[in-house]
Amino acid sequence: MSFQSPAIGGTKEDSETVSPSELWVAGPILLFQKTTVARWFLLPRLPIICYSYCRMRYSTSFAKTNKNTPSDGDSANARFLVQAGFINQLMAGVYTYLPLGLRVLDRVKKIVREEMQAIGGQEILMPALTPKEIWETTGRWDGIDVLFKLEGAGGKEYALGSTHEEVVTPLVQQYVKSYKDLPVAVYQIQDKFRNEPRAKSGLLRGREFSMKDLYSFHLTEEDMWAYYEKSKQAYLNVFHRCGIDAIITEASGGVFSKYSHEFQTPTESGEDVIYVCDKCQYAQNREISEYKDGDACSKCDGGVMRETKTIEVGNIFPLMEKFSEPFGFTVAGEDGKPVPVIMGCYGIGPSRVMGTVVEIHHDERGMCWPKSIAPFLVHLVSLGSKDDEKREEILEKASGLYEELQKAGVEVLWDDRAEVTAGEKFADADLIGIPLRLVMSEKTLAEGSVEWKRREEKEAHLVSLQDIIEQVEVFAKE
């Protein structure tokens, strides 16, 4: 991959092609080009894949670790994500994603996109601001108690989308006219807004949050149920890839349908309670269950239902004709007669997944990110020295390793801060939770090595500088 980079006011002859390894990002729209004469120029559209995205010097990051505790700091995800400089609380239930946090959120979204596309989902993006009329069509203007409502110019009433059945149904209706056009599945990843009476637990219950909502449209119930089952496996794939073990759980359909299925992750910090069979994994949410802890499972021989605290990380609903009927959404069947469209909906909250991962993968020192969604694979730490010459040698070797890791395609955060003690750097590395910590110091250089420590392990060991790139590449593939 290469980029054409004309100088401002230059001609075609002034342009030169540079490789990604010759580029640095310097802010959102500025690019520094490494040429004989350094030139700054506006970059209208930053490439999605860019070498510079793989690295960060911690000294240049404006958002660093802190000791602040958010108002909902009773949960591990709220406390650690804020203190590690991943998110910043604007108010209860509303957060800014800082550079490290945004990298994690984007990785979760990437996994979600891949699995939704694998089951035929087509990505769209619908408005968050919606008119009152569509909610009145389904009778939900006054039926959803967490709907954010506002008044615009001329007294016109609107709602911020808490869910998008009222938008997507008439949207797809405009394009799908015949049985030949079905089935169709569309999804979006968008911020949702819910007027929660008590936002709490960091990213687990917010008033503004990231949501992937997919909607499927079918000619028959049989086809909808087939897709519904396919979506279950896609969801399990998402959670597994994000480092979460999810249990498919029967639950109430809430405002959507009579019944639904939730994807619940066992953890002592969970706010939900399910009963799950210790043998076949059949599970029901306590809200609808007639089971008690210790009851025999009705789905298998010898299984016992166990009460388990969990976090809900996803849900799917068989909508049937609940939304197609009020919008008059029918298609011409094979005989030319109108056939009502059958629907399903499927939700995953990427921000909630991010918070859940922290609830599951942490210790007393901080977060322990799975490699699949970690902000970086490697946290490189260079330590100081009282000897000026040794200090310069450490920085030179660390910079060289930093560059070599980039060239090998390894994403790395380098803690190159000068006026910070070794203890502070190690504490920050544990709090941030990147999977692999590499330390370069006067001691390791004397051994021609780098100190290697996985985040979840207590002991470190030395790896020779000659072998370090190869060992990191092996680690990345594990």
- Give this prediction's pTM: 0.88
Rounded Cα distance between 394 and 71, Å, is: 41
Max Cα distance, the chain (Å): 87
Rounded to an integer, what distance in angstroms lies between the CA atom of residue 449 and that of residue 461? 10
- Assigned superfamily of 88-261+311-363: Bira Bifunctional Protein; Domain 2 (3.30.930.10)
Sign of CA dihedral 103, 107, 110, 116: negative
Residue 443: its pLDDT value, please? 96
Q: Is CATH 3.40.50.800 the right assignment for the domain spanning 378-477?
A: yes
Q: What's the rounded mean pLDDT across residues 67-83?
A: 86
- Examine the pLDDT at 10 and tell me if it is beyond 80: no
Closest by CA position to 359, among listed 263, 266, 426, 427: 266
Q: Choose among 262, 250, 267, 149: nearest CA to 201.
A: 267
Band of the pLDDT at 258, cuts 50, 70, 90?
confident
Give the pLDDT confidence score for residue 282 in this predicted structure: 97
Confidence at residue 72, expressed as pLDDT on a 0 to 100 scale: 67
Calpha distance 257→266 (Å, rounded) = 25
Distance, CA of 73 to CA of 195 (rounded, Å): 20
Does 88-261+311-363 match 378-477 in CATH topology? no
Q: What is the pLDDT of residue 121?
A: 98
Confidence category of residue 259, pLDDT binned at 50, 70, 90 = confident
User: How far from chain centre, in Å, is Cα 327?
Assistant: 33
pLDDT of 22 > 80? The answer is no
The confidence score (pLDDT) of residue 347 equals 97
Tell the residue number behind the tokens 């957060």, with chain if given. 95
**What's the pLDDT at 23?**
32
- List the domain boundaries for the chain: 3-49, 88-261+311-363, 378-477
- Give the Å distances, CA to CA, from 303 to 94, 104, 180, 297: 42, 38, 45, 5
142: Cβ contacts below 8 Å, ≥ 6 apart: none
Strand duo 412-415 + 305-320: pairing? unpaired
Per-residue model confidence as pLDDT tens digits over 23-32: 333 333 333 3
Contact yes or no for 359/174 (Cβ under 8 A): no
Structure tokens at 349: 């909250």
- 108, 354 in Cβ contact below 8 A? yes
Q: Which residue has the tokens 């910079």?
A: 399
Pair of tokens at residue 281: 């994994």
Report, as an integer, the average pLDDT of 52-69.
84
Each as own residue / partner, the long-range contacts of residues 95-103 (CB below 8 Å, 24 or more positions apart, any chain) are 95/202, 95/203, 95/206, 95/208, 98/63, 99/56, 99/61, 99/63, 100/61, 100/63, 100/375, 100/413, 100/432, 101/354, 101/375, 103/375, 103/376
Confidence (pLDDT) at 200: 87
Q: Which H or E run contains 313?
A: strand 305-320
CA–CA gap between residue 424 and residue 451 (Å, rounded):
17
Whole-number percent of the chain with pLDDT over 70? 88
Which two tokens mark 371?
A: 């490699």
165 burial class (0-12, 13-18, 19+ CB within 10 angstroms)?
Answer: buried
Question: For all residues of the chain together, what is the average pLDDT?
Answer: 89
How far is the CA of 275 from the CAs of 21, 266, 293, 303, in angstroms?
Answer: 53, 11, 7, 12
Residue 208, pLDDT score: 97
Mean pLDDT, rounded, for 231-250: 98
More confident residue, 125 or 13: 125
State yes or no: pLDDT of 319 exceeds 90. Answer: yes
